[in-house]
Amino acid sequence: MFVVRQFLFACVLGAALLLPLSAAADSHPNVVLTVQLVPGEVSAGQPALAVAILRNVGGANLQNVVVSLHFPAGLTVGNAGTCTRVAGSSTDVDCSLGDIPGAASRRADVTALVSRDLGQVKSVKVQFALRVGSGRPKPILTGASARILASNDAAHHGSCLPVPHTISATLEHQVTELPSPPRIDPSLKVLCTPLSVAVSPPPSGGGYKTNMASVGLPKLVRPAIVKLTFANETLPDENMIDNVPAGRQPSLDNPNPLWIYYPDTGKKFVVPRCNAGNQFPQGWHSCILKVIATDTGNGPNDDFDQGYITLLVQGAGFGDPRYLG
């Protein structure tokens, strides 16, 4: 089972508030404030990215808009970007967004380094405080959380680096890998590329032969290669294997293809092959580049049902599709 988690900085992973900023506004919001901490799973000792997006949905000009960030114990400010570190503090920054006219938006992002040793902490929450107007008016508070992974957690890995590098996760000889991932799309104008990979036990009662693999991607400069390595008797898509020698037949132990599954509707569809030139089929954001069986010798267990699948995946913030094998 393969899960792709997509990060879209405007609407996924975090909290969004619709806020009236004055009594005259009544119930009609002036501002939408969206906050995030990505990736949603970050390894101890790695950087994470805190993002605040403020959108003025009213007609009036918003003056002197400031969003302040407070990082909890175990996180320290890395790159403050256009924000300003609070004097004497390693955990607080002020992000001055200036005046924001109607229908306009502003964004601030700050990287933070997660300590290598957070004890038994399973998650952390960054506090965001919004102030609008002169002086230092009473803030409107919200927050965003992320799960912190132990530095020795081989089954999960997450970070946000300016120049991303290969990351992988392993559980019971099954591997999820992002080899040499590309950078985040520059149009998002953020400080680093949040990425995560994981291998987790499968849901109970599903009859799955594989563990659950996941990869978290933002929109990238180009599609990413995702490599899924499967142990013996678990390779999906045996009917699609390219390298079965003439006269040999693949094992029928696991003949199912790789499916994309939509939990909201219960529908599933076979993930297609990529088109010529490594192009996505119309309407798809992922496709199969190749399926390679590695147990192709003459031994009794060489039955073409272990190996790897490589996928082409474009992070586009289109939701959380699931892939089943």
Region 233-248: mean pLDDT is 76
Domain assignment present for 1: no
144 and 180 housed in the same domain: no
Domain assignment present for 49: yes
Encoded amino acid at 17, one letter: L
140 and 165 housed in the same domain: no
pTM of the model: 0.85
Domain assignment present for 310: yes
- Tell which of 129, 149, 169 closes a domain: 149
- Tell which of 113, 133, 149 closes a domain: 149
The conformation of residue 220, written as its DSSP 8-state character, comes to: B
Three-state SS annotation for 297-314: CCCCCCCCCCEEEEEEEC
283 and 201 housed in the same domain: yes
* Total number of residues shown for the chain: 325
| Pairing of β 84-85 and β 62-70 | unpaired
Q: Contacts for 81-90 with beta carbons within 8 Å, 24 or more apart? A: 81/108, 81/109, 81/110, 81/111, 81/191, 82/108, 83/108, 83/110
What was the pLDDT predicted at 5? 40
Total domain count, the chain: 2
136 and 266 housed in the same domain: no
- Tell which of 130, 149, 168 closes a domain: 149
144 and 164 housed in the same domain: no
Task: Give Dmax over CA atoms of the chain in angstroms.
Answer: 80
**Closest to 175 (Cα-Cα) out of 200, 192, 193:** 200
284 and 137 housed in the same domain: no
Does residue 21 carry a pLDDT above 90? no
Query: Among the listed ranges 15-29, 157-171, 260-274, 276-290, which one has the minimum average pLDDT value?
Result: 15-29
Domain assignment present for 2: no
Per-residue pLDDT band for 252 (boundaries 50, 70, 90) equals low
235 and 144 housed in the same domain: no
12 and 141 housed in the same domain: yes
Query: Do residues 218 and 184 make contact, with C-beta atoms less than 8 angstroms apart?
Result: yes
Start-end of H helices in 108-152: none
Domain membership of residue 75 as a residue range: 7-149
Domain assignment present for 60: yes
101 and 209 housed in the same domain: no
CATH of the domain at 76: 2.60.40.10
Domain assignment present for 320: yes
Q: What is the pLDDT of residues 107-127, one digit of tens each?
A: 999 999 999 887 677 899 999
Q: What is the pLDDT of residues 261-284, one digit of tens each?
A: 666 676 677 889 999 999 999 989
305 and 256 housed in the same domain: yes
The conformation of residue 244, written as its DSSP 8-state character, comes to: P
